[in-house]
Chain A
Amino acid sequence: MRALKKEVVIIGGGPAGLEAADSLNKLGHAVTILEKEGKPGGKLSNWHKLFPDNVSADGILKQMVHKISGDIQLITNVKITKISREGTKHSVWFNEGKCIQAEAVLVAVGFDLFNASLKEEYGYGIYDNVITSAELESMFTGQKSLATVTGKTPERIAFIHCVGSRDEKVGFRHCSSMCCVTGVKQAIEIKKRLPAAEVMMFYMDLRMHGRFYEDLYLEAQEKHHIQFIRGRLSESSENPDGSLLLKADDTLAGSPIKVKADLMVLLLGFVPTDFHRKMGEEFGVEIGSDGFFSPCDAHLDTNSVKTNGIFVAGACTGAKSLEYTLADARSASLKIHEFLLQTTSANILN
């Protein structure tokens, strides 16, 4: 088995890439991870705690990064320019002329967070006290202070669900499935830090589908008295003091409401990256109506695409929690291993 040793390139050094690198390495393959940022970890590096059990994101990431050793090579600050294929060899070109060859390529590029400026009526980028869920996490991690722009402790905080999700008007019909629970987790965290604050959630319906998510929802209502208002925000405007006026429809009460808030948090949806579009246009990888990669079979083979030797794992095939991303990465590793075994036996027979 050890003699097999085939080169695999993983594009993306986030959770999926790191987990797959570890598994493939244990299966006896030489792995190179190409990461666009200066360090591995992807979006996990900017997160504070993880739902539903509030473990530290940093702790999890450290354990994963710790496994990068031996036959796993990590190259950071990578900008991929081209992927080409000759026979069974794939060449991945990056950083002006550098090239790495591999028998198999695993695409684990994850997702982008929706560009909140596109939902202009919510005022992101225009009103100072409108922030994103990602920016709130960096307030939790201490990179920024949990305060309004003028440094005031917010008394009323509004969370807006489905920003860039389930919204055809901004071009994304799909449900990102992770933002509901993220919002509830973040609201609870705020109440723990600022018990006096009033926290409101504007939602369409809450999709608390994972294990223990519903418990979190109950805790938010009963223990933390977080207010859940069913209705989509229609628009927001800025008061002279920098606070925000939110206009929404309370669809349970059946009436329009206006609410003042010091801070407004937009729960951003997961959207495909530019890499998705490029892989689709230039390499023929199939793209679904949501813009994410479509694997060969949605049930039986979630890691292969129609192009031989290219594999996909993690949130680049649609929004996933960390739990499912890691499971998917391990599944992809096994799929790649099978593929490499097959090509070896085919070569011997020839």
Chain B
Amino acid sequence: MKFNLFVLPFTIGLLVLFSILTAKYIRWFLSLSTDQRDAVIKNFFTLKTLSGLREIFLESLLHRNISRKNRLLGYMHMSLAFGWFLLIIVGHFESYSYFKTALEPPYIPIFLRYFQQDSLADPLQVIYWFVMDLILLFVLSGVALAWYKRHNRKHFGMKKTTRHLPADRIALSVLWFIFPLRLLAESITSAIYGGGSFLTSGLGSLLENNIASDLSFIASWWAYSISLGLFFVFLPFSRYMHIPTELVLIMLRNWGATKYTGKIDGITQFEVHSCSSCGICLDSCQLLELGHANIQSPYLFRNFRGNKLSDTVVQNCLMCGRCETTCVVGIKTNSVRRAIRQNSDVEVNHDYLRHVDTSFNSSPDVLYFAGCMTHLTPGIKKSMQAIFKAAKINYALVDEDQNICCGRPMMLSGLAEQSLAMVNKNKELFENSGAQTLVTSCPICYKVFRDEYNLNIEVLHHTQYIDRLMKEGKLALAKSEEQVVYHDPCELGRNSGVYDEPRRVIAALANLSESPANREKAWCCGGSIANAMLTSLEKKELAISALGKIVPKNTMTLVTACPLCKKTFASTGKHINIVDIAELVAVNLSAGKDKRRIWMFEKIESASI
């Protein structure tokens, strides 16, 4: 039997790792919802499994998504992951070619140069030595880059990086040691017994005279084994847990089992443990501008993993979704945060709902739900009413008097269960109307009606609805030469995927410029209802900063499609017209008659004194 005591640290480490992973994964699988589990069972023996494996190869080994952000960063991750993977796989083939069995203990291919010291009269061995040296060099280049990156992250396209916990630091140091130690052990082996290729044999001849000895030979193999063993033991307790977990998450996603259930479940666990704390998302977080540097998604997930959640890390977030679009693992950061925020202990009083009358006297074709925020920006509501009238639509304003909130603000603050009474009352109201279309001016309402109400009625944001009315030729509009820029609201753009309709409407009415950070990269206005922790002054600071980045120099008018964005930007007091698309359309319908009321600033000028 091929054995030496030094293989024990590696072997024990590997066993510990597998036991912990198995225990955790079984527990998380058991806490999947019935729907999620059914999805796994239904799709297991389908092509979806193959596409999952393909994605694992592309993302977990080649790191394609990271390469898209930055080539160097992508190469670094690929050389470590794919290189290590090749060392193991090619090592197994090499081992098989020598011992002609696939049933060797797992340490044999890992420490192959120890167990096969002699040169064989086999030309294949020389080729294996060369290939393995090449792969090791590939991995070592990644280690060198990783080390370089700790001090020069700018070259990797990152301004910020995550601050790591002690366990992560130890695991990181151990990881950095693994491959240099392997190089050392193999080089000393080569110095004493010969063999190896350009790398190990080359280094071996340098070590031959002063370092290589029986003692350093066995010590280096011990060191290599210990570094591996330590890394395996630390892995489940450090950010490196993402390595195995991401594989499972990718499969679950391909099986369609990751639908958000509103509470912390197995999927939440897989998502949270798939975060590597790489820090790529950090630069996207606007709260860093205010100096809030410990609440970003990697910190939320890490605190969740370590059971150390504080109110601040959970609540101080705009839920704008910017980090979600930059996550190379594709973690649903907003859903995870919502699940973590869920709090069943808070009681709410919904007594008033009993008095809300949900019957209808008329039979409208279209329902218009302005939304609470739109009631605070009556200019939008009035414009929509003018548009309905101009297009001769049989509509009903359903939240004029006894308006009920759509429920999303409560859901975002962790009171999803408590918001159900409101949701049900609204559903009853919509369904009693007999209307075919529900139009809302508020992207917050739009998202929840569309994605969580399960309505039998078509749900449209007013930008989509106006776009349709224009296509149908129901609005007589004329294009002006006014220069405007469009701001994508988080809830309409990034979080609901509505980008084109607003642009079509604006482009038909004015000259539309695009800000460099548009569509999924758009900035949050700062007024988010999901954050109750920021002060008014902080929100204002975010809004001023965002305006500065959005509005081009030659533009006086910013068009948006969210009452909350409108209000937040307007309250900065900056000399810029903040206008909703509905207002832009209504002013056009009235041939500019009402324009003076909304367009407060006529030309670009520094304020006169």
Contact = CB atoms under 8 A, between A and B. Distances in A.
B375 A235 contact: yes
Contacts of B381: 237
8 contacts: A118-B570, A126-B597, A169-B571, A170-B571, A237-B375, A237-B378, A238-B378, A274-B607
Given A121-B376, A237-B400, A278-B607, A168 B570 contact: no
A80 interface: yes
Nearest 4 A-B pairs (CB), nearest first? A274-B607, A168-B536, A121-B376, A125-B597
Contacts of A236: 378
Contact of A275 (B379, B536, B609): B609
Interface of A: 79-81, 115, 117-118, 120-121, 123, 125-127, 168-171, 235-238, 274-275, 277-279
Contacts of B607: 274, 277-278
A118 B378 contact: no
Nearest to B540: A171
Contact of A121 (B375, B382, B536, B608): B375
Contacts of A278: 607, 609
A81 to B, nearest CB: 8
Contacts of A275: 609
A107 to B, nearest CB: 10
Contact of B600 (A115, A121, A169, A277): A115
A87 B572 CA distance: 38
Nearest to B598: A125
B377 interface: yes
Q: Which applies to chain B's interface (DSSP): helix, strand, loop or mixed?
A: helix
A171 B597 contact: no
Given A169-B571, A171-B572, A123 B609 contact: no
Nearest to A273: B609
B375 A171 contact: no
Nearest to A94: B609
B427 interface: no
Contacts of B536: 168-169, 171
Contacts of A127: 378
Contacts of B400: 237
Contact of A120 (B377, B608, B609): B377
Contacts of B253: none
Contact of B573 (A171, A237, A238, A279): A171
A15 to B, nearest CB: 20
A126 B379 contact: yes
A292 to B, nearest CB: 14
A274 B601 CA distance: 14
A346 to B, nearest CB: 30
B537 interface: yes
B90 to A, nearest CB: 64
B567 interface: yes
Given A171-B540, A171-B573, A237-B400, A126 B382 contact: yes
Contact of B376 (A115, A168, A235): A235
B442 to A, nearest CB: 14
A236 B375 CA distance: 8
Nearest to B575: A274
Interface in B516-537: 535-537
B399 to A, nearest CB: 11
Contacts of A235: 375-376, 378
Interface in B365-412: 375-379, 381-382, 400
B435 to A, nearest CB: 22
Contacts of B379: 120, 125-126
B609 A80 contact: yes
